[in-house]
Amino acid sequence: MLNLILPSNLDALREILDEDPEFLLDVAAMVNCLGTCRLCERRFVPITPLVESLEPLYGDFKGLHALLRHNPYISLSEAICGFCHADPGLLNMFQKMKKL
């Protein structure tokens, strides 16, 4: 099923993501890697489970990780989306909330 939707190489995936970054949400839904941000409640993709799921298709863990990590819909965190993580005010608020 993944082979029908995903391109066969990283360059083709890069082109798709350049045109439509939200494509990642569709892929993540297929491989059950969507998360919900604890701050803004936006749906986002935690990078580690997604890369681990796709790595057998691409065979380049580091290249796939590097390609995906700068996408706004991807986060290195399992709890906070890339949008909130990029906003120091929201991130600070989240850290204060965790201390309560």
> pLDDT value at position 33?
93
Which is higher by pLDDT, 19 or 100? 19
pLDDT tens digits, one per residue of 14-53: 999 999 999 999 999 999 999 999 888 999 999 999 999 9
Euclidean distance between CA atoms 33 and 78, whole angstroms: 10
Tokens of 7: 């391109």
Whether this model's pTM surpasses 0.95: no
Per-residue pLDDT averaged across 43-72, rounded?
93
Euclidean distance between CA atoms 22 and 41, whole angstroms: 16
Euclidean distance between CA atoms 58 and 10, whole angstroms: 7
Tokens of 33: 């890697």
> pLDDT value at position 2?
58
